[in-house]
Amino acid sequence: MRNLEIARVFETIADILEMEGDNPFRIRAYRRAAQNVEALAEDLESIAQRGALTEIPGIGKDLAAKIQEYLSTGRLSDLERLKDRFPPGVLQMLSVPGIGPKKARLFYESLGVKSVDELEAALKEGRWKDLPGIRERTVEKILSGIKTFREGMGRKLLSHALPLGEAIASALSSSGLAKRVELAGSIRRRKETVGDLDVLVISDRPREVVDLFASMSIFKEVLSKGDTKSSAITADNFQVDLRVLEEGSFGAALQYFTGSKSHNVRIRTLAQRKGLTLSEYGLFEEASGKLVASSTEEEIYAALGMSYVEPELREDRGEVEAALEGKLPRLVELEDIRGDLHVHSNWSDGTADLEEMISYAQGLGLEYIAITDHTSSLSVAHGLDRERALRQVEEIREIAGRFPGIRVLCGLEVDVLPDGSLDMDEEVLSKLDVVVASVHSHFNMSREEMTRRVLRALQNPYVSILGHPTGRILGEREALDLDVEAVIREAAARGVALEVNSYPKRLDLPDALVKRAMELGATICVNTDAHVPQQFNNLRWGVYCARRGWATRERCLNALGFEELVARLRRRRPALR
DNA sequence: GCCGTTTTCGGCCCGACTGTTTTCAGTCG
């Protein structure tokens, strides 16, 4: 599957053309092509074989030829030519918030800086003073952008890392050399970003496992390779650590390598108090060195007098105490989620029409979805004004009848305006089943103003869900300056659900705040915010995030069956039919 | 570079915000 690779190629071309000041529509064509290629469910190679490349939206004759060239030669002559114009580090500057093509080019051509690091140094040395249009405030903004950029770097989104880990694990499993393969570390804890990847293997032929691992074609460099351990780096600079163990110590090793560090410190202290000692090889009696437990994690936790702790909870956020008291929650699972209440179509900025979205969701076995397109103040997304909104309601009700396998609710993702009012009148809102209220603009209000704004939206009787409540985007945008505690309390009091947006870069509410929402009695709703049918599959990322926040099925709005859900929505929205 | 019941050329999304200017350029969504 080389779709992602080709999407990146188109993105890079778009970046370079943008720096050269090329026709903006041509640039947009490349970006749109990249997006559509990335969203494809089918392999580009098999589409190419069918000769159907131009059937992909946004792919015409030219781009189809470029895809063909890339598939057959592994390179693209156009791109090679363009790449000579700007060093890769200059292209990377575009990922720094506050730097676009114009500034990147300016810095490169007039300061000679070829990377983000060099740019930072030059700015700190004050070498920007003679540059046109660059003053103190701009420099401050860019320096803080560089900080944000660095925080997002080096770590990969879970949604990228987990499939990679699963591919490595399955290659090792299918070799027949391993009795068991598990991913450990933060990826097993389902942390939203992952710094590296830990793979544990049980085998009595460790040398061969190591050889197989080190020879995998995904790696560009093998850092170390011994009898039971190896580390290697993938082409996109992601480190993978392999550890091969004997069957007996698997539980202890899995527990040890899953972490987190702070969770393990707590566990080992606990063991010490009981006269025991815990290592990656097992739980032993301190005095005699006698093995107490080692083959499964369950045994180890049990021997310490605790209930089993799900990996997602192992962050030392109170799970040790709760496990000792037997009071850990039963976490929500992917199978508990019955529907999706935040879905877009091509009525606003989605790519698929209503039928496609509904039929895909039905195919996945969802019991219900709510269509929630944007409202008109979000003009970039071609949001709906009242007339189109009303027309869409009629159309949804009509189309829904043709899909007996799934219930389709009418909704909107309504913009929360700066004063906290909603971007749609009450007459329209009263005709909807679900209203997701979201902040999409004016991100830099003061904490007081922003909090007042969101609280006012929550107080609106038509709002059912607060969409991506903090507005953060991993590696791209900080969370809104918001008194989240007050927002959670208000949501709990008003019966408005807080969204856990499953989009891998959002995961918003973030896990720590999901936990706070649980503590304060609020309800969450794990939605995909799908703009493309395939994005319904993002649900798992949201569920992981919710689990890391101790969320239970009982406190998850869309774990309710349809009748219960409607009853719940109606409780807040008397007008619901 | 794509696209088409306004169809093979001429559109294609554009408003808000910021910081720089003194009427605007760059970035973002």
CA of A18 to C1' of B23 (A): 25
Q: Which positions of chain B lie under 7 Å from any protein Cβ?
A: 1-3, 11-21, 25-29
Distance CA(A175)–CA(A378), nearest Å, equals 51
Q: Quick check: A130 CB within 7 A of strand B? A: no
pLDDT band at A577 (very low <50, low <70, confident <90, very high): very low
Structure tokens at A400: 């829904």
Chain A window 385-424, residues with Cβ within 7 A of nucleic strand B: 418
Return the nearest residue to B14, CA–C1'. A380
- Measuring from the CA of residue A25 to each C1' atom, give the nucleotide at the shortest distance: B12
Q: Quick check: A476 CB within 7 A of strand B? A: yes
Q: DSSP characters for A74-115?
A: SS-HHHHHHHTTS-HHHHHHTTSTT--HHHHHHIIIII---S
- Measuring from the CA of residue A29 to each C1' atom, give the nucleotide at the shortest distance: B1
Q: What is the pLDDT of residues A39-62, one digit of tens each?
A: 676 778 888 988 889 988 889 999
Return the nearest residue to B29, CA–C1'. A380
pLDDT band at A153 (very low <50, low <70, confident <90, very high): low
Q: Quick check: A90 CB within 7 A of strand B? A: no
Q: Are A294 and A272 in contact (CB under 8 A)?
A: no
Q: How far separated are the first and last CA of chain A, in Å rounded?
A: 46
CA of A374 to C1' of B4 (A): 26
Position A573 scores a pLDDT of 63
Percent of chain A, pLDDT > 70?
98
Structural domains of chain A, ranges and CATH numbers in brackets: 2-126 (1.10.150.110), 156-245 (3.30.460.10), 250-324 (3.30.210.10), 334-572 (3.20.20.140)
Residue indicated by tokens 């008291």: A325
Q: Quick check: A104 CB within 7 A of strand B? A: yes
Position A497 scores a pLDDT of 97
- Measuring from the CA of residue A443 to each C1' atom, give the nucleotide at the shortest distance: B17
- Measuring from the CA of residue A138 to each C1' atom, give the nucleotide at the shortest distance: B19
pLDDT band at A569 (very low <50, low <70, confident <90, very high): very high
Lowest mean pLDDT of A67-81, A230-244, A408-422, name the range.
A230-244
CA of A184 to C1' of B7 (A): 57
Q: Quick check: A21 CB within 7 A of strand B? A: no
CA distances from A208 to A216, A228, A529 (A): 13, 9, 45
CA of A416 to C1' of B18 (A): 22
Distance CA(A383)–CA(A423), nearest Å, equals 10
Q: What is the pLDDT of residues A163-221, one digit of tens each?
A: 989 999 999 999 989 989 999 999 999 999 887 889 999 998 888 999 999 999 888 77
CA of A227 to C1' of B28 (A): 51
Mean pLDDT of A85-96: 89
CA distances from A371 to A40, A233, A395, A435, A525 (A): 21, 42, 11, 10, 15
Q: Quick check: A28 CB within 7 A of strand B? A: yes
